[in-house]
Amino acid sequence: MRPSGGRRLLAWALLLGALLAGGLWRLSMSYDLGLFLPAPRTMEQQVLVERLGESPGSRYVLVAVPDDPERVTRLVASLRGLPDVERVLSDLAPPAGQPPDPLWSHRFLLADMDWRAEGLESVFSARLAELGLGTDATYEAVVARDPALLSLDLLQALAPDTETPWVTGDGRRVLVAVTTAPAFRLEAQARAVNGIRQAVAGVFGTDSDAVLSGAGVFGVTLRDTIRHEATWRSTWASAAIVAVLLLVYRRPAVLVLAALPLAAGLICGLAMVSLVYGQVHGITLAFGFTLLGVAIDYPLHFLSRARVQGAAPALRATWPTLRLSALSTGLAYAALMAGGALGMAQLGLFSAAGVVGAAATTRYVLPWLVRGKDGPALAAPSPSPRLRPWAFMLLAGAGGLLAWQTQETPWWESDLAALSPVPAAQLAREGRLRQATGAPNIRYQVALRGENLQSVLADSTTLHDALDTAVAAGLIERFGDLTPLLPPDTVQERRRQAIPGRTTLEERLRSATNNLPFDATAFTGFVHDAVASHRLPALQPDTYAGTTLEGALGQYLYRNAAGQWTALATLGGDPDVQGLEQLLAVQAPDARLVDLRAASESLVTDYRQRTLAVLGGVLVLIALLLTWRVRPGRAAWTLSLVLASVFLAATVLRAWSGPLDLYHVTGLLLVAGIGLDYALFLGKADRQGAGHAVFACMASTVAAFSVLAGSAIPALHSLGSTVALGSALCFAAAWLGARPRSGAK
């Protein structure tokens, strides 16, 4: 027995409720942008992806304030007190007192020292001279336990360049607050940024023109901007759709009927992603809902026909085409899953499941909510047969001319930075502030990788010597690396063996100070610490856990999910790339100069090629699917119309805004789905109500996406302009290409 309308609705509501509950129960939101990066293949790509949230200085919040040393010093002290700030880098006063552990506790294992009596005497001579320069109590306390000042030298090796004051071209002083949380932990970043703003306001007043910059600041600002932009633009886009639908259908009930499949699609998509992946990225939801926008067309096709013929005949007339359209679109969206990026795979699954859910709701639920027919018979107007060739030639000519005129412009944007939702002006300002602080070059790093930590550390020591040579040869200005923080066990052991026993050391100390005014008994702390170093376990990465130097070590050493160790050296200034590569090839052959920009470009290129290859396969599948319902000739014609529209849209966009980015590509995918839908419905022999529906679909899509196109956020702008333009072109192509007498099988 067929279920009644009421029962059917109840079952549908229960099913959706269960899906929603199940989806939400398993769901956790993720904001890790790394999910949207394709799987890396080369070592350079791996370093890029693995270090995305932890690249040099990604935890830096750069603070540019008026150049007033006294107030800047107060600000530094104030920032050091913040719980979300790990440390503060500045060219001003370093924190007083002895250097932090484990650098202090392990100083005799971290640096070479001449333990002979002559070596000690030379050390004490140098200290005697320095005392004559006028020193303070902190310095003397360090000398008493570390007369060779090994710990201060180690600290200086880690410190950023402070020889040049950190002042920007426009005379601002720059400080760096290093946050405890990585850049992508937005809640913690928001707390840190807020605390820093308050500290700045406390010292410089609320009306100072202080500037905060950095990955975390961008993340927090973007989240707020996107929330704001997305909220009001979505509101306006929705209002535009409502206005168009009211204008076209003149019945408020249509709004509810059109929204139901969309809501069902959303729940289906969410439930599927939640079931398969357990978590959903914020961007998956945002873009997924956009891609799902095509599903609003499904109820419109049915409703336009139903107002003429009533529900049952309308369903019979529209469902085969609607099913074909939904399956083809779902297939195209599902292709995103094969691209190799987890985030894009989520997006594909979400949209494909959503489209299928929306189509199913249109088929199995809507007919029981629509009563009899209530509108006049509508016939889609066909363009004049004489007009059609001219119009096609005009469109093709315009497209060809545009493509020819812009042939210098590359088709695709390969710069990963172009995907950044951060406006270019803010990125440029970030670059200027970084330059003022001498923060590491963010493009080049030197990487070493291996399964065994000790062999990586040994290679790192070789690399350290090679980079010293590079500095001397002027190939790089400076570098930062692992060796001062973590020498190999063998080196630590050699240094340990060199430390004399207590009696010998005391004897040498007496001998060394015999001809000097130093009091040997003032250095008992030194003797004690040196002797205690005999029993210290060798320094390991874990020794740094929880210390203030943990972040410093993490900048130079990490272990990936596969258990491989990677040591990184950061470079300062603009390196002589060719010279450095030649030097490394000879002196540190295991090390690789990593050009992060080249790595990101190759990553994007690989990803695009793979996606295009998959889409090519999908196109063949869709063509086969079409021949299931329509004749091969018409299937080919329909696909040609869609492809021509997509190509024309891509050409116009390239001419308008330059090379296409991944948001454009996502938008073009939606355009293809929409175009297929238009071409199928307008291409039917029996298209009663189809013109009305397709026009309503096109008008609402163009209105809604035009609102998004006005956004200053690159992602929304690219997507909005692509879909608004593309759907208008698809409509024009489908309308011009409609063949009144060719019918469905």
Partner 1 sequence: MSFLSRLLVFILLASPAAAATLPERLAGLAAQPERELHYEETRESALLKRPVTYRGRLAWDPDSGHLTKWVDEPRTARLTITPTHLEAATGTGRIRRMPLERRPELAALLGGIRALLAGDAAALEDTFDTDYREDGEGAWLLRLAPRAADLAARLSLLEIRGKGNHVSLIDTLLGGGEHQRMRMVPQDHDAPPTPLDDAP
Residues engaged in binding partner 1 (CB under 8 A): 69-70, 72-73, 91-94, 122, 125-134, 136-137, 140, 143-144, 156, 162-165, 517-519, 522-523
59, burial (CB in 10 Å: exposed 0-12, middle 13-18, buried 19+): buried
**Closest CB to partner 1 among residues 125, 406:** 125
Least Å distance, CB 112 to partner 1, is 15
**Closest CB to partner 1 among residues 90, 727:** 90
Least Å distance, CB 596 to partner 1, is 30
**Closest CB to partner 1 among residues 55, 90:** 90
Instruction: For residues 90 and 566, give the distance between their C-alpha atoms in angstroms, rounded to a whole number.
Output: 28
DSSP 8-state class, residue 516:
S
**Closest CB to partner 1 among residues 394, 522:** 522
**Closest CB to partner 1 among residues 67, 606:** 67
Least Å distance, CB 152 to partner 1, is 9
Q: Please choose, from the candidates 658, 719, 737, the residue with its C-alpha nearest in 3D space to the C-alpha of residue 395.
A: 737
Q: How many CB atoms lie within 10 A of CB 686?
A: 12
Residue pair 284/347 in contact by the 8 Å Cβ criterion: yes
**Closest CB to partner 1 among residues 125, 455:** 125
Least Å distance, CB 43 to partner 1, is 38
**Closest CB to partner 1 among residues 126, 585:** 126
Q: What amino acid occupies position 131?
A: L
Least Å distance, CB 143 to partner 1, is 6
Least Å distance, CB 446 to partner 1, is 26
**Closest CB to partner 1 among residues 523, 663:** 523
The distance from CA 530 to its chain's CA centroid, rounded to whole angstroms, is: 48
How far apart are the two ends of the chain, measured CA to CA in Å?
Answer: 30
Residue pair 653/664 in contact by the 8 Å Cβ criterion: yes
Residue 147, CB-side half-sphere exposure with 13 Å CA sphere: 28
Residue pair 404/396 in contact by the 8 Å Cβ criterion: no
Torsion of CA 592, 593, 599, 601, to 10 degrees: -150
CA distances for 279 relative to 20, 350, 508, angstroms: 14, 12, 65
Secondary structure of residue 177 in the 3-state scheme: strand
CA distances for 162 relative to 75, 90, 406, 443, 477, angstroms: 18, 8, 48, 21, 13
Give alpha helix (H) positions in 541-661.
550-556, 577-587, 596-629, 632-657
**Closest CB to partner 1 among residues 122, 503:** 122
Least Å distance, CB 92 to partner 1, is 5
Helix (H) or strand (E) holding 157: helix 150-158
**Closest CB to partner 1 among residues 3, 119:** 119
**Closest CB to partner 1 among residues 70, 542:** 70
Q: What amino acid occupies position 712?
A: A
Least Å distance, CB 129 to partner 1, is 4
Least Å distance, CB 128 to partner 1, is 5
Instruction: For residues 188 and 576, give the distance between their C-alpha atoms in angstroms, rounded to a whole number.
Output: 38
Q: What is the CA radius of gyration of the chain?
A: 33
Instruction: For residues 591 and 460, give the distance between their C-alpha atoms in angstroms, rounded to a whole number.
Output: 8
Residue pair 346/273 in contact by the 8 Å Cβ criterion: yes
DSSP 8-state class, residue 304:
H
Instruction: For residues 263 and 20, give the distance between their C-alpha atoms in angstroms, rounded to a whole number.
Output: 11
Least Å distance, CB 523 to partner 1, is 8
Instruction: For residues 393 and 265, give the distance between their C-alpha atoms in angstroms, rounded to a whole number.
Output: 39
Least Å distance, CB 60 to partner 1, is 20
**Closest CB to partner 1 among residues 50, 121:** 121
DSSP code string of 436-459: HHTPPPSSEEEEEEES-HHHHHHH
**Closest CB to partner 1 among residues 132, 372:** 132
Least Å distance, CB 435 to partner 1, is 17
**Closest CB to partner 1 among residues 144, 598:** 144
Least Å distance, CB 521 to partner 1, is 8
365, burial (CB in 10 Å: exposed 0-12, middle 13-18, buried 19+): buried
Least Å distance, CB 175 to partner 1, is 12
Instruction: For residues 150 and 33, give the distance between their C-alpha atoms in angstroms, rounded to a whole number.
Output: 41
Instruction: For residues 126 and 146, give the distance between their C-alpha atoms in angstroms, rounded to a whole number.
Output: 13
Least Å distance, CB 75 to partner 1, is 12
130, burial (CB in 10 Å: exposed 0-12, middle 13-18, buried 19+): middle
Burial 326-335 (b: 16+ CB within 10 A, else e): bbbbbbbbbb
**Closest CB to partner 1 among residues 162, 548:** 162
